[in-house]
Homo-oligomer: A and B are copies of this chain.
Amino acid sequence: MEYKYLNSINGPEDVKKIPEDKLPELASEIREALFNRLTKKGGHFGPNFGMVEMTIALHYVFESPKDRFVFDVAHQTYPHKMLTGRAKAYIDDAHFGDVGGFTNPAESEHDMFYIGHTSTSVSLATGLAHGRDVTGGKGNVVAIIGDGSLSGGEALEGLDYAGEMKTNLIIVVNDNEQSIAENHGGLYKNLAELRKSGGACENNLFRSMGLDYRYVEEGNDVSSLIKAFKEVKDIDHPIVVHVHTQKGKGYPRAEENRESWHWSPPFNRETGEPLFKWDGESYNSIFAEHILEKLKSDSSIVVVTAAVPGAVGLSQDVRSKMGNNYVDVGIAEEQATAMCSGIAKAGGKPIFATNATFAQRVYDQMTQDVSLNKSAVTLHLSSSSVFGMGDATHIGISAIGMFSNIPGLVYMSPTSKEEYLAMLDYSIDQNDHPVVLAVPCDGVNHAAYPVCTDFDGVKYQICEKGEDVAILALGDFFNLGRAVAEYIGEKSGKKVTLINPRFATGLDEKTLDSLLSNHKTIVTLEDGILDGGFGQKVASYYGDKDVKVFNYGFERKFYDGVIVNEVMEERRLTPELIYEDIKSK
């Protein structure tokens, strides 16, 4: 591939040099570059293929960075990156590592924010607009938000507030008729009416929020888009430009199966088949199978997701089998959580299954709607771990500090498949309090010790009774704890006590007290940030006792591009380094 145009683009000013009638050729080159990277490295597929023409038109008409773009959720910005000096990261395999998957000011002045969660763009853009005005600045502020992101509370608050502003603000709604899975929420009926009527139907969500509005049907036609953007450039009030695009445009398989091709692993362009396949057991499949089995005898269980069913193991097939016992609320985590509280109060058994990084959106709802009301909701938390953590926008290791300090909650950390299932059953069937269940992320391990199924009250499980040194190894890090205990036992010649704490909330004071008689050193291990976590509670409890406590976990920082082994070493999370530490004191 020659990349005649793309190779000449070092920034948006070079896009403007291309004659308008040649821009479709640039679009073709961008799609080829996307194929080059995505077939080999994987990434967000459908969103980027759909945004090619719109991105060209944005950079053709506006003047970034003087005009400010805020992309939502920024997973559709590969074409934007290509047009702002980063084309090599798509064309040249040796440069794949130059860019991350989202906008990031550290990469380019054309990226306004580091963004990786949905529904934030409109609110951020209202701030850019207001900040521009009070500081006497200039330029357009343009938020680009997908239809799927519109259902999020922050986006709706943003649209509503924008509706009373009296200044330049352009909100481009990229409507590809799809969230990650199908859209959910009544507003999507209105978007469908708007598309059908060419934007002319009487009822209009955006106008009902006080916003001006225009519609563009040909969202994959560069000229139509250029015309529309020229007309709204330098406008003196907020306006929504509703653009109809095709998700996955340019690859028939992706146009047809939009959910599967939202994100793609490396794949064969001819066949569409992924290059690597994983068909082993995973907690996703274990969860789905277990719930389907339980539903046979208990129709009061309801699994709720917020737009990421695939990420928690609920394929289209599993969802259809669950029927009314499954609810996807779309991108609306607050709704999911409060709805679960209502389901519990009405006698149902709700499970909100999501990723830890998205659960940070429901701190308030877990506190107020759920815990304060003693609603027996299970928050089934995936990826609350250093294992599989990606970049700083998706930082699962915050989970313990985030949830374990909320009153009324019980935070459970299983160490094996069998313990996970026992805790899941307990959580679903009890009626007294909410449970946050941190799904293990270090692969599917089988229980090395009998699973203790007494979960009422905080009781630790003493797996090995030793002396001198005790290891309290929580959840994911239990296997590390076993290795540490064995290593120290060998080196010191004294058997080490190994404990599975099972809970990140509360303390088993009886067990902690019992250790005092013949232990001098307590080591805590947790797969999370130390601040606000499990180990610090243990240290505080032992603060006035004659025992030394060593807390191991992660720093309070936005870890980026984590390589697990390196981070573990850096945090001294290895048997050798831990032994070195405790020996030296």
Contacts and interface: CB of A to CB of B under 8 A. Distances in A.
Contacts of A134: 299-300, 302, 324-325, 343, 348
A443 interface: no
Interface string A393-434: 101001001101111100000000000000000000000000
A344 B128 CA distance: 8
B345 A113 contact: yes
A543 B537 contact: no
A365 B530 CA distance: 22
A566 to B, nearest CB: 18
A517 interface: no
Interface in A315-363: 324-325, 327, 329-330, 332, 334-335, 337-348, 350, 360-361, 363
A365 B126 CA distance: 14
A139 to B, nearest CB: 10
A151 B208 CA distance: 13
Contacts of A530: 540
B549 A120 contact: no
Contact of A164 (B161, B184, B350, B531): B184
A585 B545 CA distance: 8
A253 interface: no
B558 A408 contact: yes
A544 B585 contact: yes
Interface stretch (A22-30, A49-57, A368-376): A368-376
B209 A186 contact: yes
A386 to B, nearest CB: 14
Given A123-B342, A151-B157, A539-B542, 9 more contacts: A123-B369, A127-B340, A137-B346, A157-B334, A186-B209, A363-B402, A405-B532, A405-B533, A407-B557
6 contacts: A116-B368, A130-B346, A131-B345, A164-B189, A205-B208, A405-B531
Interface of A: 68, 70, 105, 112-117, 120, 123-135, 137, 151-154, 156-164, 184-190, 202-205, 207-211, 299-300, 302, 324-325, 327, 329-330, 332, 334-335, 337-348, 350, 360-361, 363-365, 367-369, 371-373, 392-393, 395, 398, 401-402, 404-408, 505, 529-533, 535-537, 539-540, 542-544, 548-551, 556-558, 581-582, 585
